[in-house]
Structure 1
Amino acid sequence: MSPNVLLIGAPRSGTTFLFSALAMHPDIFAPNVKEPHYHLAHRWPLGGPEHEAFTTPLSEYLAGQRSEVWGGLMTDATDYAALYADAGNTRWRLEATPNYFAEGAWMAQRLNEHLEPDARVIVVLRDPIARTVSHYNHFVKLGWETRAFADALAATEERLAAGWAPTWDYLKYSAYAKPLAEWRTVFNDRLRVVSFEDMTWQPQAVVQDLHRWLGLTPSDDLGAANFNAAPAADQGSLQAARQSVKLTGRLDLEQEEAIVAAAHDPRFAQPLVTIGMPVLNGAESIRESLESLLSQTYTNLRIVVCDNASTDDTARIVRDLAVQDPRIELRSFSERSDIRTSYERAFATAAGDYFMFAPCDDRWAPEFIARAVQQMQVNRHASVCCGRIEMLENGHRIGRSEGVHDIIGPAGRRWRDALVNTFDASRIYGLLRVSALPDLIPATAPEGWDHYVTAKLALRGDIITIDSTAMYRDRTSDDSYLGHIERQEPTFWKRVFYLRHVRRLFVQDQEFKTGNLGAQLTLLAYMLIYSYLPLKERPKLYERFRKTGRMLARWGRNISV
C-alpha cells in the first residue's frame, strides 16, 4: 500500500502544520514518519552535517525503538509500504516530503507512475526570501549551519561537490516557476497550490477547502495541530537577505513573487484587528505608541483613539497621523470620564474577529500582532493570546513582567488559575477574541477590577502565550497603587482587604458559579495573596498572608471543577 495524497513542498512553508491538520480528519491516514524521502533514496548523498538526522532516528524507528519520527532517508520498499499498513479503508493516505517539489519533472513523472491514478498533490508556496531565510535559520538552530547567510549561499557548489544533500542548496527550494510548471503538466487538476500566507491567516478555512477538494466532509476543528510558532525574520534581516539573494543572480525574484501572489486566494484574507486606545492628555507619548502600532508587520488594523477630553495636543497629533495613515480613527469625548468608562469606550470600538486594548504610553513589538493572530486562528478555543511585557524604568529595561503563562483546561479551573496568578493582569493587553468581550467590564470599578476582567476572559476560553515581547511599558510604582487604595478605603484593615469588593463582583456574576467550595476557597486565597501592598511595611504578616493564600489556592483549584 502506498500514499495517494502527497504534500510536496516547499520546505519551511508550513508543511508540518498542514500535515498534522489534515491528519486529524477521520478519512485521512497519516503515518508516524512524515518525511520518508523514499523517492529520493537513490539520488541523495548525505555527506554533510545532516547525515545523522536523516539516518539515526529513522533506523531507531524501524528497530521499534521509537513510535514516530520526523523522517529520514528511507531506502527499503517494504519499510515504505509498512508505513501505510494500518491505513485500512481510509480514503486518503498522506505523505509529506517537501523536498520532492524542487526535483520537478522527473519526480512528478516517477510519482505519477508509482501512485494510484487519482492520487493528489499539494504544494505550499511562501515568499521566496522569507522561505530561504527560514530554511537557513532552521539549519543554524540545528547546529548544522555555521556560516553567515551570504557566505552560506556562496558555499552551495562547494558543499554539493563534497557530497552534501541538495537540501543545502537554499535557493533551489525558492525557485518555484520551473518545477511548478512541470508538476502541473503531469498532475493537472490533481494538483492544488496553497498559499503560505493564506494558511497563516486562515488555517481553518484553508484546511476545510482542501477537505472539500479531496471530496471529504470538512472538519470544523484543527485541535492540537502542530503550528510552527517560530518567529519570522525582522524586516531588516529580510531586506539584507534579499540583497544577498539578488547578488547570486540565481532567482528571478519578480517572477517567483508573482507566482506566490497568484497562489493567494482572496477568500482567505487577514482577519481584522481593532485596537482601542483610551487617552487623557497623552501628547508626550501617544505618537510613539501609535507609530509602534502602525509599524506592525500585520497590516489589517483599525486603530481607534478614544480621547477623554484632553486639554493638550493629543487630538492634533492623532489627526496628523490619521492623515498619513487612514487606519487611525479619532473619537473625541467632551466630558471627561473615570478609568472604567474610558476602558469601556475603548472596548466598545471592537469590530472584526480580534481586539487589542492599547494604552497610549505603551510601545509594541513589531511582530506581536502577527504572531498572536496566527496562534488565535489555529486555537479556536482561545479567548486571549499574550506575549511578554518588558518593564522599563527611566528608559532602561528592568525585566519582564510576571503573570503571563498558558491557562488551559476546564473553564472553572481556568478562571481560578487566572485569578490567583494575576500579578500585573497582562492578559488584558493581549490579543482578545471579540466574541469573548460582551459584558466584560463590570458596572463598578473597585481597585483590582481588572483582575475580574482577566478571570472572565479565562472563563470564556483558553489563555495562550507566545514567548516573545509584546510591548514595552514604563513601570508604575507601588506608591501609585497604594494611593488608589487609600482613596478607596478609610482604615488600615479595610485597605488590607480592599479586594473584598472584587470578590463581590465574582459572587454577583452568575457566569462564574461561585457557590461551590472550590470557588470560595479561590476567592479567599485571592484576597490574601494580593493584600500585600498595604502590608509592605509588615513583611512577616505579609508572608503569612501569602503562604495561607497559596495553600488555599491549591485546595480550591481542583474542587468541583
Structure 2
Amino acid sequence: MTACEPRVSIGMPVYNGGELLREAADSLLAQEMGDLELIFSDNTSTDGTSELCREYARRDPRVRYYRNDANIGAFSNFERVVELARAPYFMWASHDDLWAPQFVSTCLAAMASPDVVLAYPKCLVIEPDGQPFRLIDHHQLTSTLGVCSPVQRLRRVLKAPDFWVLFYGLMRTDVLRQVLPISRVHANDSVLVALMSLLGQFADVPEVLFKFRQKANSVAIHKRADFLGEAEKKASRNFRSFWPATRSICSRSMGMPIAPVQKLGVCLSAFRWYLSRYTSRGRRRARQLLTYRKSHSVPVRQTVESDTGR
C-alpha cells in the first residue's frame, strides 16, 4: 500500500438514490477515521443522483465517482465497487442507510488480529422516515473469535437470526474477493456471509453503530393486522426459495482451501439451515416483532441516541 492509498474503501452502488443519498454520504464522510475513500458506482440513474455524486467528488478528494455506460444490474454493480477498491479493508454502503461516526474506527480496532476477516456492530433497523423499527442484537451469537474450525464458525453464524446484516460489516478486501462473484440467488447476502465465515473469524462490536433503513413495503407488512398469517405464508415460501442459496453455499465451498471432511460438514450445516426455514419460526418471529414494537420502541430510541451520539 502506497502513501496515497486509503486504508478503507467504502463502495456505494447506487441507482436513483434521491435525497437520502446525501444523508448517507455525509455520515460516511464524517467518520472519525478519515483515511478512507468513498466509491460511487452509478448504474445509469435517471434522477439527480449523478449530479449529487459529482458534487461530492468535486468537494472531497476522498470521493471517486463512476457511471456505468449501461445498467449492469444490482449484483454486478455491487461487485464493481469491490473491483474499484484500493484499500485493504472494504465495506458496502447502501444509499439510504446511516453510520455512526465511530463505525469504521471501531470495526478496524476489532480486526486487529489477522485471523479476523469481518467485523460488525449492532444494527438498528429503521423505518423509511427514520423512526426505530427493531434492533438486531445477536452479536454474541455470530462472533467466531477464537474458533479455528471453518465448519464450527459456519454453524454458529447460520444459527443466528438475521445474520445477513453482516453483509454490511467491514471486511478484508482480499478475503472478500475470494468469495465473489455474488451468488445470483435469493438470500445472496446470507450466502456471502456464510462463505466469509469459512475463511476467517468474525468479530462483534457491542454498540449500535449502523442504521439499516427498511423498505416501505417491508414495514407495511409487519404492521398489518394479519401479520401472523402472512408470516406463516412467508415461511412456506422461504422453504422453496432458500434451496438455491443452500446449494450455492455447498457448491462454492468445494473450491475453498479447507479439508474435504470440512467440506462435507459445510454441506450438512447448510442443509440443516435450509430445513430450519420451514418450521414454526415464521409464527414465532411474527410474535417477537409485534411484542418488540409494543414494549421496546422508546428504550431502543434512547439506546441508539446514547450509543451513536446522533
Please name the residue that 1:383 is paired with.
Answer: 117
**In the alignment, is residue 529 of structure 1 matched against residue 276 of structure 2?**
yes
Deviation at 1:395, TM superposition (A): 2.1
Q: What SS is found at the alignment partner of 1:445?
A: coil
Please name the residue that 2:212 is paired with.
Answer: 473
Distance 2:262 2:153 in 1: 16
Deviation at 1:368, TM superposition (A): 1.1
1:24-39 to 2 correspondences below 5 Å? none
Distance 1:350 1:428 in 2: 17
**In the alignment, is residue 407 of structure 1 matched against residue 144 of structure 2?**
yes
Distance 1:452 1:478, change over 3 A: farther
* C-alpha contact 1:402 1:423 (8 A) present in aligned 2: no
Q: Which of 431, 437, 441 in structure 1 is aligned with 2:176?
A: 437
Distance 1:280 1:292 in 2: 19
Please name the residue that 1:162 is paired with.
Answer: none
Q: CA RMSD in A?
A: 3.0
1:136-215 to 2 correspondences below 5 Å? none
Equivalent position amino acid for 2:151 in 1: G
* C-alpha contact 1:442 1:449 (8 A) present in aligned 2: no
Please name the residue that 1:501 is paired with.
Answer: 244
Q: Which of 46, 49, 63 in structure 2 is aligned with 1:328?
A: 63
Distance 1:480 1:444, change over 3 A: farther
* C-alpha contact 1:296 1:365 (8 A) present in aligned 2: yes
**In the alignment, is residue 456 of structure 1 matched against residue 195 of structure 2?**
yes
Equivalent position amino acid for 1:451 in 2: S
* C-alpha contact 1:372 1:431 (8 A) present in aligned 2: yes
1:54-453 to 2 correspondences below 5 Å? 272-376=7-111, 378-393=112-127, 394-405=129-140, 406-408=143-145, 409=147, 410-421=149-160, 423-442=162-181, 444-453=183-192
Q: What SS is found at the alignment partner of 1:277?
A: strand
* C-alpha contact 1:411 1:461 (8 A) present in aligned 2: yes
Q: What SS is found at the alignment partner of 1:418?
A: helix
* C-alpha contact 2:188 2:245 (8 A) present in aligned 1: yes
Equivalent position amino acid for 2:251 in 1: Q
Q: What SS is found at the alignment partner of 1:437?
A: helix
Distance 1:399 1:323, change over 3 A: same
Deviation at 1:337, TM superposition (A): 2.6
Structure number with the bigger relative contact order (C-alpha 8 A, sep ≥ 6) is 2
Equivalent position amino acid for 1:390 in 2: L
* C-alpha contact 1:383 1:460 (8 A) present in aligned 2: yes
* C-alpha contact 2:9 2:86 (8 A) present in aligned 1: yes
Distance 2:199 2:17 in 1: 33
Deviation at 1:352, TM superposition (A): 2.0
Deviation at 1:518, TM superposition (A): 3.9
Percent identity at matched positions?
24
TM-score normalised according to structure 1 size? 0.43
* C-alpha contact 1:306 1:333 (8 A) present in aligned 2: yes
Distance 1:288 1:375 in 2: 26
Distance 1:444 1:312 in 2: 29
| Bigger Rg, which one | 1
Deviation at 1:288, TM superposition (A): 0.6
Residues 416-463 of structure 1, C-alpha deviation per residue, up to 9 Å, x if partnerless? 222232514121111111121123234641101211100111111110
* C-alpha contact 1:389 1:469 (8 A) present in aligned 2: yes
Deviation at 1:520, TM superposition (A): 3.9
Distance 2:3 2:63 in 1: 24
Number of matched pairs: 262
Deviation at 1:295, TM superposition (A): 0.6
Deviation at 1:270, TM superposition (A): 10
Distance 1:343 1:354 in 2: 15
Distance 2:185 2:77 in 1: 15
Distance 1:287 1:444, change over 3 A: same
Distance 2:79 2:125 in 1: 25
Distance 2:5 2:43 in 1: 31
Gaps of 5+ in 2: 223-234, 288-310
Distance 2:60 2:221 in 1: 35
Deviation at 1:324, TM superposition (A): 1.4
**In the alignment, is residue 519 of structure 1 matched against residue 254 of structure 2?**
no
Q: What SS is found at the alignment partner of 2:178?
A: coil
Distance 2:3 2:41 in 1: 31
Distance 1:403 1:517 in 2: 27
* C-alpha contact 2:11 2:40 (8 A) present in aligned 1: yes
Equivalent position amino acid for 1:407 in 2: T
Deviation at 1:470, TM superposition (A): 2.3
Gaps of 5+ in 1: 1-266, 482-491, 544-561
Deviation at 1:385, TM superposition (A): 0.8
Equivalent position amino acid for 2:152 in 1: R
